[in-house]
Amino acid sequence: MSSDTTYAKPEDTSNTVQPRGKRDVKLETNEFLSILSGWQTVVILGHIALQVLAWTFFIEVERRGVMPAPHPLTSLANKHPRFATQIVTLVSTALAACSSFLFSFSVRKSITIRLQRPVSLTSFQCAMKISSLSLILSPRKWKWTVTSIALVLITGVQTSCWTTLLTPIQVTIGTPLSGSELDLSSPLLKQAQTTGVLDNCETSPSRLTSFVLGQTDSGYAAVEGNMSLPASFTAIGRNFETSTAGVYPMTMFDVDASSLFPGMTTIPGTLTPVGVVPDGFSQTYSMMQQGFTADVSCTFSNNTPPVQKDVMRGSGDKDEIVHVTMTSDCAGRQEPDLNTVSVYVGGESHSLLMVGCGTGENYTLAFSSSPVIAVIGKSPISCTFTPRITTVKVDYPSMNISSKAILTKTNDAGAILDVDGPAGLSALQTLYRAFYYGQGSESNRIHEQFVDLIGTNPTPETVLRSMEEYIRGVVEYSGTLLRACLSGRNGTFPDGVPANMTIRTTGMLYTQTLGWNRWSAREYWILFPGTLVALSTITIVLVAVGKHAGKTPRVPFNPSNGVHLIALSVVGDLRDRFTGTEEEDLERAESFQVVLGHIPGQGPALLCA
């Protein structure tokens, strides 16, 4: 190109002060708004949409505390956990890429607009690197260096921030539960007791073969639990840990009771969720229920209550079957008669017998055994127990409670006495049957359990405390049997427990699922990188458009496109400004200022200002 070529450069009006009237301001405002209707709108609205998504999601999780993931994601994660993680990562990467692209795009467009006025080659070069999110490492350009490092870090961590924000974790969501169960303290229940309506459930359960093992196992587990040993046993088709605590397991569905109680159909499920139950992997629930227990006290005594023991022998052979009878004249119910017990054993040495009596608040148990029974045969034992109705916290580890343990914790504070109630009488019956059925012709099951638990030479104190725990465990088991018997359909009551004999229960259903928990304070930073990038992008756009309103070039120029740079540089006069690519040559060229101009007859060009 000849040296006399004429270049048309844009007019530099930076030092020109022009008077502005209301009309001029209005025109520039209109120009500013009209300019924002193009790519600028896309960039600004894009970043606003990303931030609205991030902050809305964040605030919603904070507001709700725990938020479950959509069912499709939960189902996918349950079946294909790695694939679900991949999807979340891809979504996070895409959102972060959109944010970075909008930032880079806005910087490139701003460079094009800024080139309507002279720009130093240094600023142009550094802005180009910023637009491509490249590092600038130059001590002479430390401000640009710091800026580039900060922007690369901030835009680079956006993927991890979105991933942290969106990746669901395993959470537990609580749903309130409401239900009802038999109220052992109901006056109407005691009125029904006086009419004989409850007699079947007071006496029959302890006689059924399906409950014989549970009577002794419940006592054994209670002693184990008191010794801090792992203990569980099966009762009414469910597994209990340590003790039943006198509760009947509550469910949301009817339970088949025909195999437990002859003639009975089902035991109604009375639990109802109060709210929507989310889909999840597993569910557990916890209830506050009415329980049943007893205060038990045992001592060694020969006189309380008075007991007679008769042994009838035949030929006198020590191995023959003998008839052993134990009776007491203490006060008790006439029917059934628990003041006497009679068994056949293979010699007196194998007998361990119990009789029971008492009414009102306290019941008395008298134990007697042959001297050869090592653990509790050294001296007669007398025990008293006072039935109490309690409040129990019951934890159900799984909805399939037939195969999972039920953890119970009894809070005896505020427990009320069960004076002459059906539960106390049923407990006395169950204890009587436990020791009666525990006696065999050649051995005694309960004695064997005690030997297994406390050995053959325990201290007297250990014997008494173990007996107290054993009795308490059986008493609580009897409360569970009574509740089950009275709660079934086609039993004592045609449709289960009448509503006026029930008590309300409350609890929580815990669903283990995927979702999001409330963020901790150290996790709040995850929103800062994206927000900072959005604010930077919007600021760059507004400043560029505001300073150069009306001067937006119509030239299809992309400064990040190497071909565009070469084409516009060749047309312009920049080729005469560079003398090489050595460091000193480039440093000398950096002092030049460039501008996006127009050469008549040739089109747009990058020119030296």
For residue 411, pLDDT over 60 is answered with no
For residue 343, pLDDT over 50 is answered with yes
Alpha carbon distance 131, 109 (integer Å): 9
Per DSSP, the three-state class of 51 is helix
Please indicate whether residue 406 or residue 540 has the higher confidence score (pLDDT): 540
Which residue type does 363 have? Y
pLDDT of residue 70: 86
Summarize the confidence of residues 554-578 as an average pLDDT. 70
Instruction: List, as one string, the DSSP characters of 143-176.
Output: HHHHHHHHHHHHHHTHHHHHHHHH--EEEEEEEE
Alpha carbon distance 304, 350 (integer Å): 23
Q: Would you say 608 and 592 are in contact if contact means Cβ atoms under 8 Å apart? A: yes
Could you report the per-residue pLDDT of 461-474, keeping only the tens digit for each?
998 999 999 999 99
Exposure of 595 by Cβ count < 10 A (0-12 exposed, 13-18 middle, 19+ buried)?
buried
CA dihedral 416, 422, 423, 426 (to 10 degrees): 150
- DSSP letter, residue 374: T
Residue-level length of the chain: 609
Q: Would you say 173 and 515 are in contact if contact means Cβ atoms under 8 Å apart? A: yes
Does the CA dihedral 415-421-426-432 come out positive or negative? positive
The pair of three-digit structure tokens given for residue 514, joined into one six-digit string? 């995927």
For residue 357, pLDDT over 50 is answered with yes
Q: Would you say 370 and 348 are in contact if contact means Cβ atoms under 8 Å apart? A: yes
Which phi and psi angles does 575 have, rounded to 5°?
A: -65, -25
Alpha carbon distance 441, 277 (integer Å): 55
Please indicate whether residue 262 or residue 20 has the higher confidence score (pLDDT): 262
Could you report the per-residue pLDDT of 250-286, keeping only the tens digit for each?
989 999 888 888 888 899 999 999 988 888 888 889 9
Q: What's the mean pLDDT when you consider all of the chain?
A: 80
Could you report the per-residue pLDDT of 498-557, keeping only the tens digit for each?
999 999 999 999 998 899 998 887 788 899 999 999 999 999 888 887 776 555 556 667
Alpha carbon distance 196, 200 (integer Å): 8
pLDDT of residue 483: 92
Distances (CA, A) of 312 to 261, 281, 340, 371, 509: 37, 64, 15, 17, 59
Cα 157 → chain centroid: 30
The pair of three-digit structure tokens given for residue 165, joined into one six-digit string? 């924000």
Does the CA dihedral 105-106-111-115 come out positive or negative? positive
Q: Would you say 420 and 401 are in contact if contact means Cβ atoms under 8 Å apart? A: no
The secondary structure element, H or E, covering residue 181 is strand 169-182
Q: How many other CB atoms are there within 10 angstroms of residue 258's CB atom?
A: 12
pLDDT of residue 479: 92
The pair of three-digit structure tokens given for residue 152, joined into one six-digit string? 């690369």
Summarize the confidence of residues 31-60 as an average pLDDT. 83
The pair of three-digit structure tokens given for residue 456, joined into one six-digit string? 């053959």
Q: Which residue reads 């708004």 in tokens?
A: 33
Q: Would you say 460 and 375 are in contact if contact means Cβ atoms under 8 Å apart? A: no
The pair of three-digit structure tokens given for residue 281, joined into one six-digit string? 């992997």
Highest mean pLDDT, choosing among 200-204, 298-302, 312-316, 449-453:
449-453
Residue from 272, 254, 249 nearest 394 by CA: 249
- Model-wide pTM > 0.85: no
- Which pLDDT band holds residue 140 (cuts at 50, 70, 90)? confident
**Where does residue 215 fall: left (phi above 0), alpha (psi -120 to 50 degrees), or beta otherwise?**
alpha
For residue 96, pLDDT over 90 is answered with yes
Q: Which residue reads 């293979």 in tokens?
A: 346
Could you report the per-residue pLDDT of 56-84, keeping only the tens digit for each?
999 999 998 889 888 888 888 888 888 98
Per DSSP, the three-state class of 403 is coil
- Which segments within 183-271 are labelled E, that is strand? 232-235, 238-241, 255-256, 266-267
Which phi and psi angles does 442 have, rounded to 5°?
A: -120, -10
For residue 403, pLDDT over 50 is answered with no
